[in-house]
Amino acid sequence: MHNLSTVIRFEIVRALKKKSFWILAISFPLMFAAIFGIIFLSNKATDDAAEKLKEQSFSIAITDESTLLKPEMIAATKAQSIKAQDKQSTIDRVKNGQLDAYIYYPKNLDAQPIEVYGKDVGPFENGRYESIAKSLLSTSVQTGVSPAIKKVIEGKVSSTNTIYRDGKVHDSIKEAILPGIFLLLFYFLISFFGSQMLTSTTEEKENRVIEMILTTIKARTLIVGKIISLIILAIIQGLLVVMPALIGYLIFHDQLKLPSFDLSSLPVDPVRIGIGFLVFAASFMLFTGLLVAIGAAVPTAKEAGSFFGIIMILLFGPLYAITLFVSSPDTAIVKFLSLFPLTSPIPLMMRNAIGNLGIGEAILGIAILVVSAVIVMAIGIRIFRFGALEYSRKLGLKEVFVRK
């Protein structure tokens, strides 16, 4: 126990001292800050431009053959009304810079476009005359129309959607959120820490420190210590990523016009959340053991890295069958992907989130994952013991199993 806590502390402290850990940790909040900043600046610039537009006075001329524009609206824009026969001469005035813009509304708006002619005011401002043309038309048409019809025209009619399953209100999206968090967490952990797990034991080999280690502590203590420290580091990393984003959301929610989330309305299904957690924990154990075992079997971190792609394909490959998990959960391929230990984490977590994973299948899947994880961990420790002194070559599987 003393040595396990010593290994964990040593591994965590030295990881926290590495620049790469902090670069990775800080890059996410910085990225979020940059995105929020861009959204904020963009919103502000749009608002400022709208305000500026209101204050600016343009010399505009309008020809309305559609007769849909209200005269008072035209008057409000201080636009000049032009007869249709003067169309070309008015366009020439815009060409010569005597007029800022000219808007021509044709007779049949359903067949012909509104023609807008304007003086160049820069790539970001040139669209303003077109906006005025459309806004003028829309406001004129909606004048005198009831608020309900106005909402229909604007496509702003709201609706509620109540779905029942087994006699109870069912919201599949909301219900998937809490069990689905484990899928995200697993993806995050494996993506960010997979390569660290893979190379966690190659360091001892590459630095030739393994003989001193193996005569001082048990291989199992070292490996378990490394795995626990990686989990703790992942939690620290996760908090470093999530906390600033959460704080940023709470502080800048209104300024950035971010969507609101009412977490209290999320359905809590303890069984599905429990299954999600167990699949996550067993999958994490299995893949950690697998990555550590591969790392222990190869001589260098570089060689270990080439195996990472294979593991990722096995693990995340089932995502390509995502539509099958939703629409055909009872097909043989879905059953296979959900129970074969190297592919099962994503299908099991996804189907659990969607709600089409039966209790029996979940228990079987978790049991297979746990048994596989224990076997892989034991093999990993054995590979570490016997492969430890193989500084320049891969340890063959036969050697691992044949040696006493």
Write out the residues near another protein by the rule CB under 8 A: 2-3, 6-7, 10, 13-14, 18, 203, 207-209, 211-218, 388-389, 391, 403-404
Distance, in Å, from the CA atom of 305 to the CA atom of 139, rounded to the nearest integer, reads: 62
Confirm if 321 and 315 have CB atoms less than 8 A apart. Answer: no
Which lies closer to another protein via its Cβ, residue 165 or residue 208?
208
Q: Which is nearer to another protein, 215 or 260 (CB)?
A: 215
CB nearer to another protein: pick between 10 and 22: 10
| CA 340 – CA 333 distance, rounded (Å) | 10
Residue 4 vs 326, nearer CB to another protein: 4
CB atoms within 10 A of CB 223: 25
Least CB distance to another protein at residue 378 (A) = 16
> Amino acid identity, residue 42?
S
What is the full DSSP assignment across 244-269?
A: HHHHHHHHHTTTTTPPP--GGGS---
Smallest separation (angstroms) from another protein to the CB of 209? 5
- Tokens representing 121 are 């005011």
The answer to whether 361 and 191 are in contact (CB under 8 A) is no
Cα–Cα–Cα angle for 135, 138, 139, rounded to 5 degrees: 80
Q: How far is the CB of 196 from another protein (least distance, A)?
A: 14
Strands 164-165 and 168-169: antiparallel
Beta bridge pairs of residue 159: none
Nearer to another protein, 75 or 212 (CB): 212
Q: How far is the CB of 384 from another protein (least distance, A)?
A: 12
Do residues 185 and 193 lie in contact, with contact meaning Cβ atoms separated by under 8 Å?
no
Tokens (6 digits) for 135 = 């806004």
Half-sphere exposure of 34 (CA within 13 A, CB side): 6
Q: Which is nearer to another protein, 336 or 401 (CB)?
A: 401
Q: What is the smallest separation between the CB atom of 201 and another protein, expressed in angstroms?
A: 13
As measured in angstroms, the least distance from the Cβ of 19 to another protein is 11
Please, what is the minimum distance in Å from the beta carbon of residue 212 to another protein? 6
Tell me whether residue 212 or residue 367 sits nearer to another protein (CB atom).
Answer: 212
